[in-house]
Copies of this chain bind each other. A is one copy, B any other.
């Protein structure tokens, strides 16, 4: 292995420590404790684990844990009413609707009931539009976390060739946009890309977010490149990513492991978004009270 490891577990811990300090500063300055409202519908075991971790780390960083657990057969209007109640509750800084929802619920319209200022997952249409237009707003957690990981290497993205493999709404799409904001030249590749080796091997920074186990090998990687593996797949031999770690780490300059790379960053970024949201809401209320 020649690549340096990007330790997502350590960097996520550092982000959380920074968030905890910001929560303390905000609480002392304003008297407000940022609150994260998580909504879990039903009993999906993976979702239960994710939500439990989010709540635990929110509490660890000094936030209020405002959880709602809804029955698996809850009706769409009931979920909508709960989101609207949380939207109007000043104690709620961020609202997170844990996905996927049970089949009978339509997630799109429910997500869009979350006000942009409380959209700590960055998934609403308005948040996507703010990102597309380069306006201030809350950004999706996983791609934001990837930017933090790249920054941790000390490498500036300005003018670099960045290639994102994958164009999903949650990761690939916003990822490309965030890299562009950092002045990288950004290429989005995907399942219809004709010659992925040719495209990927031009990348100074390669983001593997295709959702295909072991898709990216040494032949896709320019020597010395930064390789970020967003994939996470459960296989017989354990957790693995979109990148063939052993062969790529012999070529790349920097690489994230799976697990322990992008994964831990997602929750850390969610918490960072929640304290940002609390601050934005407070500033808006100050402006409104002065008007």
Q: Does the CB pair B125–A135 fall under 8 Å? A: yes
Q: Which residues does chain B contribute within 8 Å of A187, judged by CB atoms?
A: 185-188
Tell me the nearest residue of chain B to A158, going by C-beta.
Answer: B192
CA of A190 to CA of B186 in the docked complex: distance in angstroms? 10
Q: Does the CB pair A186–B188 fall under 8 Å? A: yes
Chain A residues within 8 Å of B, Cβ to Cβ: 108, 124-135, 158-161, 167, 169, 173-174, 176-177, 180, 183, 185-190, 192-194, 199
> B131, B159, B188, B194: which contacts A180 (Cβ < 8 A)?
B188
**A129 with B124: in contact, given A193-B185, A194-B185 (CB under 8 Å)?**
yes
> B131, B159, B185, B193: which contacts A132 (Cβ < 8 A)?
B131
Q: Does the CB pair B194–A159 fall under 8 Å? A: yes
> B129, B161, B167, B189: which contacts A129 (Cβ < 8 A)?
B129
> B131, B158, B192: which contacts A183 (Cβ < 8 A)?
B192
* Closest 7 A/B residue pairs (Cβ): A129-B129, A125-B129, A128-B129, A187-B187, A183-B192, A128-B132, A185-B193
CA of A192 to CA of B179 in the docked complex: distance in angstroms? 12
Q: Which residues does chain B contribute within 8 Å of A167, judged by CB atoms?
A: 180
Give chain B nearest CB distance to A253 CB in angstroms: 17
**A133 with B185: in contact, given A158-B192, A159-B194 (CB under 8 Å)?**
no
Give chain B nearest CB distance to A115 CB in angstroms: 13
Give chain B nearest CB distance to A205 CB in angstroms: 13
Q: Which residues does chain B contribute within 8 Å of A192, judged by CB atoms?
A: 158-159, 183, 185
Q: Which residues does chain B contribute within 8 Å of A174, judged by CB atoms?
A: 132
Of the A-B pairs whose beta carbons lie under 8 Å apart in the complex, a sample of 13, sorted by A's number, is A125-B126, A125-B133, A125-B135, A128-B128, A129-B132, A133-B169, A133-B173, A159-B193, A161-B194, A180-B188, A185-B199, A187-B187, A187-B188
> B133, B135, B185, B194: which contacts A189 (Cβ < 8 A)?
B185
CA of A64 to CA of B217 in the docked complex: distance in angstroms? 59
Give chain B nearest CB distance to A169 CB in angstroms: 5
CA of A190 to CA of B177 in the docked complex: distance in angstroms? 13
